[in-house]
Each structure stands twice: as C-alpha cells, then as structure tokens.
C-alpha cells in the first residue's frame, strides 16, 4: 500500500466519505492547480478543506508524506551517526542523524537543534531507545527536527520493528520524492565523471588537502557519475557515487582516466539493470532525481518467473 492510499484511508475514516469521493476531490484539486501538486499534496489540501487535521495525530513511519510540516511518530533508535560539525555562511553548527523504526518501516531523523543534539552527546538518547518525535518536517523521506520540533524518550514498548530499508517496486512515472525505489531500467545517457577529494577519517569533502574536522590529511579521490534512466514509462536523471560506480561495469582506471572512460562509455549505454536508491528533490533545479545506492544485473530467470506468474 503506497502513501497516497494510506492517506486516503485516513481521510475516509475521518470524513465518512467513500474512497471514490475522496479520489474525485483529489483529482479536481490537482486539475484546479494545473497538476502542480502531487496526489499526496492534493489529498492533504482536501483533508484540510474537510476540517481534518493530522498535525496532532501520530502516524506510522510508512504513512509519512513528503511536505508534512508537523509529523508525529514513535520509533526505536536503530543507529546513531556521529554528531557532525559544519560551517555555513560563516556560522558554525551541528547536525545529528538517527535511524528510527517502527512496525511499518524506518526513516532517518535529522536533528538540527543544539538542545536535541545535546541529548545524544550526553547519552540521554542512545541506540535501542524508544523516542517520541513531534512537529517534524518530512523532506525526501526524512524527518527534520528544528527548534520548533520536540523529541523525548517514550515509555511505550515497541515489538518487532523493520530495520532494513524498505524499497517500493514501481514505474518511474509513479515515483515520488522521498521514496526508496527499486526499478529495472535502461541507461540512455551517461555523463563524464566529476571528481572530488574526501577525508579518509570522516569521508567529508576536503579543500587543499585540509578537512575542517581533522585538519591536514592525505585525501582519498572519489568520483560521481550522472546517468539518465528510462523504464518505458518515464526517464529520470540519476546520480551514482563512490563504489557503486563500479557496478556499472567500469574499472577504477576507466573511472579516473577520461580517455579510458570515453572508450568504455558506449558499452554502457543501452544496458538494462536493476537500480535501487532514493528519490529526492533537487532544490536547485526543482525536479526529482534518483540517488542510486545499488546496481544489479537483471536476473533473467527471476524475470521469467514473474512474467509466468502474471500470465497465470
């Protein structure tokens, strides 16, 4: 069940309208807005017009919808990444990432507020704790907590939770920002690699052999490659980082030697593979893109089995 279906179910229960009536209202709202809003976004507008407010309602992680401003969930802390310092526009700050899970799925929670981050630094929030998050914003499938958000330990006990990332298998035309997606597609364009250097300790980008955290270091060389994928329903610009680039069939020499890369490029074009990753909104270009985390060869035997099942 996708996010839109779950959202419509909630609206149906709260309004006593049928699913078909809600669907019609959603499509009418999208048409009025010239299709500039997603189905999920239109459903949230319809809910508000019906006097239904999800701001104080606790939701399952799988029910979170891109763009929610006041999301509330309870989840178990699966992992905590090291607190990271940064400097933006001359101002120092910190950010902390946690993976939280419930019985429906899991999501990254991003702490930006120093008071929230101090709970991690002081050991008051740790792995396996159950926490309650309120008033978080949902962006690209992540929960972002600002100073207007709240996080605290919960006395509730959660049973089995989903710790592995959950991927939807769907066509590119149906992909939404924030979704973890697995799809079979053709590589129809591949662009020249872009190179950068990272710190061997923290993996962050460095300039002039200097890391903001670890000082002068011997950097590691990294690359990223943009490709365009097409699955017959739509195409999407995608980005591949680091070790995943070699899953395209490129060697290290072919990645870091431009002449070698250009020789190999045409062999990759037109290949069909299975791509897994996250759909995100590129704020600079105001479009969605596919951040690829895994590339696999198409399993022909498995594909035949699926086609046989559909035929039956």
pLDDT at res. 299? 79
pLDDT at res. 192? 94
Are the CB atoms for 138 and 178 separated by under 8 Å? yes
pLDDT at res. 133? 96
118 and 159 in a single domain? The answer is: yes
- Res. 255: pLDDT tops 60: yes
pLDDT at res. 233? 93
34 and 89 in a single domain? The answer is: no
Interhelix angle 19-32/3-15, rounded to 10 degrees, is 110
pLDDT at res. 122? 95
- Report the alpha-carbon distance of residue 236 to residue 81 in Å, rounded: 30
* Closest alpha carbon to 142 in 104, 107, 177, 99: 107
- Report the alpha-carbon distance of residue 288 to residue 183 in Å, rounded: 15
Lowest mean pLDDT among 2-6, 124-128, 226-230, 273-277: 2-6
- Report the alpha-carbon distance of residue 84 to residue 211 in Å, rounded: 13
pLDDT at res. 60? 87
- Res. 241: pLDDT tops 70: yes
Alpha helix positions (H), 188-284:
252-256, 258-268
113 and 179 in a single domain? The answer is: no
- Res. 252: pLDDT tops 70: yes
- Please count the CA atoms within 13 angstroms of the CA of 178 that sit on its side-chain side: 24
193 and 304 in a single domain? The answer is: yes
What residues contact 255, with CB distance under 8 A and at least 6 apart? Answer: 193, 223, 225, 245, 246, 261
Map residue 145 onto helix, strand or coil: strand
Lowest mean pLDDT among 30-39, 70-79, 209-218, 255-264: 30-39
pLDDT at res. 217? 85
Q: What is the tens place of the pLDDT at every residue in 111-148?
A: 999 999 999 999 999 999 999 999 999 887 899 999 99
| Structure confidence at residue 309 as a pLDDT band (50, 70, 90) | low
- Res. 1: pLDDT tops 60: no
pLDDT at res. 203? 74
Q: pLDDT: is 66 or 216 the higher one?
A: 216
- Res. 19: pLDDT tops 60: yes
pLDDT at res. 254? 95
Residue 144 sits in a domain whose CATH number is 2.40.50.140
Of the candidates 135, 163, 191, which is a domain's last residue?
Answer: 163
| Structure confidence at residue 290 as a pLDDT band (50, 70, 90) | very high
Q: Which two tokens stand for residue 33?
A: 């807005």
Q: Which two tokens stand for residue 280?
A: 């995100």
- Res. 306: pLDDT tops 70: no
184 and 285 in a single domain? The answer is: yes
187 and 258 in a single domain? The answer is: yes
pLDDT at res. 2? 61
184 and 154 in a single domain? The answer is: no
* Closest alpha carbon to 182 in 258, 276, 80: 276
- Report the alpha-carbon distance of residue 261 to residue 254 in Å, rounded: 5
The boundaries of the domain holding residue 10 are: 1-53
Number of domains in the chain: 3
Percentage, residues of the chain above pLDDT 70: 95
Q: Which two tokens stand for residue 246?
A: 């070699």
195 and 289 in a single domain? The answer is: yes
106 and 122 in a single domain? The answer is: yes
Of the candidates 127, 142, 163, which is a domain's last residue?
Answer: 163
pLDDT at res. 308? 67
pLDDT at res. 93? 87
Lowest mean pLDDT among 34-48, 131-145, 240-254: 34-48
How do 287-297 and 235-241 pair as beta strands? parallel
Map residue 107 onto helix, strand or coil: strand
Dihedrals phi, psi of 101, to nearest 5 degrees: -140, 150
Of all helices (H) and strands (E), which one includes residue 263? Answer: helix 258-268
Are the CB atoms for 230 and 273 separated by under 8 Å? no
191 and 303 in a single domain? The answer is: yes
Q: What is the tens place of the pLDDT at every residue in 185-203?
A: 999 999 999 998 888 877 7
Of the candidates 148, 163, 178, which is a domain's last residue?
Answer: 163
133 and 32 in a single domain? The answer is: no
What is the average pLDDT across 246-254? 94
| Structure confidence at residue 307 as a pLDDT band (50, 70, 90) | low
Of all helices (H) and strands (E), which one includes residue 130? Answer: strand 130-139
Tokens 């607190």, located at residue: 83
Q: What is the tens place of the pLDDT at every residue in 48-106?
A: 888 887 767 788 888 887 778 889 999 999 999 989 887 777 788 899 999 999 998 89
Are the CB atoms for 281 and 287 separated by under 8 Å? yes
Are the CB atoms for 67 and 25 separated by under 8 Å? no
139 and 213 in a single domain? The answer is: no
Of all helices (H) and strands (E), which one includes residue 194? Answer: strand 194-198
Q: Which two tokens stand for residue 187?
A: 């590589």
- Please count the CA atoms within 13 angstroms of the CA of 11 that sit on its side-chain side: 28
């Amino acid at each position: 069940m996708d996010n839109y279906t779950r959202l419509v179910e909630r609206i149906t229960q709260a309004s006593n309208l049928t699913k078909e009536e809600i669907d019609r209202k959603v499509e009418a709202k999208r048409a009025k807005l010239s299709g500039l809003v997603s189905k999920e976004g239109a459903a949230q507008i319809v809910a508000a017009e019906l006097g239904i407010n999800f701001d104080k309602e606790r939701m399952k992680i799988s029910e979170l919808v891109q763009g929610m401003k006041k999301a509330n969930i309870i989840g178990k802390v699966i992992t905590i990444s090291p607190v990271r310092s940064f400097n933006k526009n001359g101002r120092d700050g910190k950010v902390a990432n946690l993976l939280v899970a419930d019985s429906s799925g899991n999501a990254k929670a991003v702490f930006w507020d120093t008071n929230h981050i101090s709970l991690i630094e002081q050991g008051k929030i740790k792995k396996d704790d159950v926490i309650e998050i309120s008033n978080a914003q949902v962006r690209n499938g992540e929960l972002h907590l600002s100073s207007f958000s709240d996080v605290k330990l919960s006395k509730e006990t959660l049973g089995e939770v989903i710790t592995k990332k959950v991927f939807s298998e769907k066509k590119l035309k149906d992909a939404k920002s924030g979704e973890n997606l697995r799809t079979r597609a053709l590589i129809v364009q591949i662009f020249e690699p872009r190179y950068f250097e990272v710190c061997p300790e923290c993996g962050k980008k460095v300039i002039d052999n200097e890391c903001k955290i670890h000082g002068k270091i011997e950097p590691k060389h990294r690359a990223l490659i943009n490709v365009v994928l097409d699955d017959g329903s739509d195409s999407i610009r995608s980005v591949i980082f680091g070790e995943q680039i070699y899953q395209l069939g490129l060697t290290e020499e072919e990645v870091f030697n431009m002449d070698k890369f250009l020789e190999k490029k045409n062999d990759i074009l037109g290949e069909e593979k299975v791509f897994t990753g996250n759909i995100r909104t590129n704020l600079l270009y105001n479009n969605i893109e596919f951040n690829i985390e895994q590339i696999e060869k198409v399993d022909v035997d498995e594909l035949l089995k699926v086609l046989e099942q559909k035929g039956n």
